[in-house]
Structure 1
Amino acid sequence: MDAVEKANTERQKRWAKDKKVGEGTYAVVYKGREIATGRKVAIKKIKVGQFKDGLDMSAIREVKFLRELKHQNVIELLDVFSSKTNLNLVLEFLDTDLELVIKDRSLVFLPADIKSWMAMTFRGLEFCHRNFILHRDLKPNNLLIASDGQLKIADFGLARDFADPGYKMTCQVITRWYRPPELLFGCRYYSTAVDIWSVGCIFAELMLRTPYLPGESDMDQLKTIFRALGTPTEEDWPGHTKLPDYVPVGQFPRTPLRELFTAATPDCLNLLSKCLIYEPRRRIGAKEALNHPYFFAHPYPSHPSKLPKPAIKNTLPLEEVDGNVDLSGPGPAVKANPPNKLKRKHSSDDLNGRSIARKLDFTQHTGDR
């Protein structure tokens, strides 16, 4: 047994799987514990053998980025070990997610509660962006909530680095209801603004208690956005008509946010509007958002421990345990359509999965892009 295999065996012995809490095409999630301390954890077992060309790149990305990100508002990767042909991610165990909180009608939100969830989301996202990482799938069920009320960004399977601004990226990311218009128009060069749009949609959803922009297809998503925010002009968004997948969608007038968000303060509406600006370069950044007057005005954000929370259930530590992204978006009385699922792609250029499971030394950061 070589040194890498020996270290892997030692790591594997630290953890015990107690109960399966979810299964998808590509992964199984267990509630587990650290044997020495009894600490509860989540163990996400990725089925390496499912992939013809090796290990799914979403698993590689998830390991890579979570090894790099240590922040109270980002889910913590505690360990990684291989078992036969499976890769196991040991994650902190989190009780619930923001989608379940939003949908639980027995819970009453105060403006200070929404402010607290938004502050934690922006803090976690600012840390990701400061480290040149785009999340590319922010939505309420990827914002998990710990027993002490801390909100943590999770599911980095679609994340990627953006240190090279000229690097072409796929536009087929971010669950549709939270996807910005530049991606719907096929933009392949983008940056942190795509995550900020998603946060704006989550912000609106917290106030409405229902998804803000629930489109049924990509074209309907654009219409839904334009009905809510008005059809952009060249002045609003210079150059958008030259994007690869641009098509005229129709002319819709802009509806003032005040008409829908009647109870929101002026500062609240100002921050929301800055998250949902059409021109990506003019959209507010996460750091700037944290310094917005909204967070410094009364009422101040609730302490995380005081935030409303549903009764604890066996919540999955990651909502999407398979390798798919549900592009229809979560929402009341809406079921996911298989045609609306985007499979996380892996190519023949990916590393061989069986080789990774046996040999990859997780004491070092992986070096893939």
Structure 2
Amino acid sequence: MDAVERANVERQKRWVKDQKVGEGTYAVVYRGREASTGRKVAIKKIKVGQFKDGLDMSAVREVKYLRELKHQNVIELLDVFSSKTNLNLVLEFLDSDLEMIIKDRSLVFLPADIKSWMAMTFRGLEFCHRNFVLHRDLKPNNLLIASDGQLKIADFGLARDFADPGYKMTCQVITRWYRPPELLFGCRYYGTAVDIWSVGCIFAELMLRTPYLAGESDMDQLKTIFRALGTPTEQDWPGHTKLPDYITVGQFPKTPLRDLFTAASPDALNLLSKCLIYEPRRRISAKDALHHQYFFAQPHPSYPSKLPKCATQLATAQPLEEVDANVDMESTVAGGKGGPIKARPKRKLNSPYDDSKSRSIARRLDFTQPIPGS
């Protein structure tokens, strides 16, 4: 056994798989723990043998980008090891996700709560974009929530770098309800603006407590967007009629956001409108969003530990050092502040996997779908 094999065996011994919590065509996800400390983890076992050319590209991407991205608002990849013909990704265990919280009608959201979730989302996304990584699948169930309330961007299976602005990319990315119109029209050259549109849809969903732009097909998605925001003109979006898959889908008037988001503040509506601009180059960046007046106006963002939690989170919550979500935005852009998340005490806890009515957190790791393009 050479040194590499010995190191792999040592890493494998460090982690214990306790319970299978989900299985798809391409991977199995286990709830596990660190053998020495009992710390809970999620272990994602990729079935390497399922792929003609060896490894699934989504697994390669997830490992590549999570090894590079270390931030309190990005899920942490703790370890990687192989066993037989399988690749195992060890990820930090998270109790819930934003979709579960949005759908829990027993929870009441305050404007300060929405502001906190948005600040953490933009903080994590700004870090990704600053490091030239597009996520390309932002949606509420890929925004995981730790027991201390910290939001973390997860599932980098569709992520890719964008250092070369002239490189052609697939438009078959981002879940339809959160996909920007330029991708629906077949755009193959794009940048960070595609993620910003997704965040705008999430922002709207937090305020409405239901998906904002929920189309049933790609064509219906475009109609849904245009009904909500008006059919774009050449003045609104120069050149969009020249995109590869452009098609006319009807003329719809622009409806003021205030008509639907009746309780939103002027600052919230202004930020939302800047995320949902048709012209990608005019959309606000994650960095500029963090400096938007919305985050400085009253009410200040809720402390993450005070944010609404699902019943499953309340069962697992432990006393943690308070982290102030009302951070100075200069330090937010530099990576945020607040102490590291502390390891939970060693004891058996309830989890979302014990609730048959809850969607398994394992599904947030997107282990059932192949990569639809590069």
- TM-score scaled by structure 1? 0.88
| Count of residues in correspondence between the two structures | 329
Alignment pair present for 1:316 and 2:361: yes
Task: Describe the SS at the equivalent of 2:364.
Answer: coil
In structure 2, distance between residues paired with 1:263 and 1:159: 34
Alignment pair present for 1:269 and 2:296: no
Alignment pair present for 1:212 and 2:198: no
In structure 2, distance between residues paired with 1:345 and 1:204: 27
* Match in the other structure for 1:186: 186
In structure 2, distance between residues paired with 1:254 and 1:201: 17
* Match in the other structure for 1:38: 38
* Match in the other structure for 1:333: none
Cα-to-partner distance string for 1:197-244 (whole Å, 9 max, x where unaligned):
000000000000000000000000000000000000000000000000
* Match in the other structure for 2:8: 8
Does the aligned pair in 2 maintain the 1:28–1:321 contact within 8 Å? Answer: no
Does the aligned pair in 1 maintain the 2:154–2:364 contact within 8 Å? Answer: no
Task: Describe the SS at the equivalent of 2:278.
Answer: coil
* Match in the other structure for 2:371: 344
Please report the RMSD computed on the Cα atoms of aligned residues, expressed in angstroms: 1.1
Does the aligned pair in 2 maintain the 1:66–1:76 contact within 8 Å? Answer: yes
Aligned residue identity for 2:361: L
In structure 2, distance between residues paired with 1:194 and 1:244: 17
In structure 2, distance between residues paired with 1:344 and 1:38: 33
Task: Describe the SS at the equivalent of 2:262.
Answer: coil
In structure 2, distance between residues paired with 1:3 and 1:236: 60
Does the aligned pair in 2 maintain the 1:78–1:92 contact within 8 Å? Answer: yes
In structure 2, distance between residues paired with 1:55 and 1:303: 41
Deviation at 1:345, TM superposition (A): 4.3
Aligned residue identity for 1:322: F
In structure 2, distance between residues paired with 1:169 and 1:150: 32
Please list, as runs of the form range in 1=range in 2, the aligned pairs for 1:158-197 lying within 5 A after superposition: 158-197=158-197
Does the aligned pair in 1 maintain the 2:196–2:284 contact within 8 Å? Answer: yes
In structure 2, distance between residues paired with 1:319 and 1:144: 8
Task: Describe the SS at the equivalent of 2:169.
Answer: coil
In structure 1, distance between residues paired with 2:365 and 2:11: 25
Aligned residue identity for 2:263: A
Does the aligned pair in 1 maintain the 2:155–2:366 contact within 8 Å? Answer: no
Deviation at 1:4, TM superposition (A): 1.2
Please list, as runs of the form range in 1=range in 2, the aligned pairs for 1:127-276 lying within 5 A after superposition: 127-276=127-276
Q: Residues 141 and 93 from structure 1, CA distance in 2 versus in 1: closer, same or farther, beyond 3 angstroms?
A: same
In structure 2, distance between residues paired with 1:318 and 1:164: 32
Aligned residue identity for 1:174: I
* Match in the other structure for 1:59: 59
Deviation at 1:322, TM superposition (A): 2.5
Cα-to-partner distance string for 1:266-290 (whole Å, 9 max, x where unaligned):
0000000000000000000000000
Larger relative contact order, structure 1 or 2 (CA cutoff 8 Å, min sep 6)? 1
In structure 2, distance between residues paired with 1:317 and 1:284: 32
Deviation at 1:316, TM superposition (A): 1.8
Deviation at 1:323, TM superposition (A): 4.1
Alignment pair present for 1:284 and 2:284: yes
* Match in the other structure for 2:341: none
Task: Describe the SS at the equivalent of 1:18.
Answer: strand
Q: Which runs of 4+ in 1 moved over 3 A?
A: none
Deviation at 1:311, TM superposition (A): 1.2
Please list, as runs of the form range in 1=range in 2, the aligned pairs for 1:63-82 lying within 5 A after superposition: 63-82=63-82
Deviation at 1:2, TM superposition (A): 1.5
Deviation at 1:320, TM superposition (A): 4.4
Does the aligned pair in 1 maintain the 2:22–2:362 contact within 8 Å? Answer: no
Q: Which runs of 5+ in 2 are unaligned?
A: 313-351, 354-359
* Match in the other structure for 1:332: none
Cα-to-partner distance string for 1:125-182 (whole Å, 9 max, x where unaligned):
0000000000000000000000000000000000000000000000000000000000
Percent identity between matched residues is 85
In structure 2, distance between residues paired with 1:316 and 1:97: 8
Alignment pair present for 1:305 and 2:297: no
In structure 2, distance between residues paired with 1:319 and 1:22: 11
In structure 2, distance between residues paired with 1:201 and 1:259: 17
Aligned residue identity for 1:316: I
In structure 2, distance between residues paired with 1:323 and 1:169: 22
Deviation at 1:35, TM superposition (A): 0.4
Cα-to-partner distance string for 1:63-111 (whole Å, 9 max, x where unaligned):
0000000000000000000000110000000000000000000000000
Does the aligned pair in 2 maintain the 1:29–1:321 contact within 8 Å? Answer: no
Deviation at 1:306, TM superposition (A): 0.1
Task: Describe the SS at the equivalent of 2:361.
Answer: coil
Q: Which runs of 5+ in 1 are unaligned?
A: 325-342, 347-368
Does the aligned pair in 2 maintain the 1:94–1:317 contact within 8 Å? Answer: no
In structure 2, distance between residues paired with 1:10 and 1:65: 24
In structure 1, distance between residues paired with 2:287 and 2:34: 36
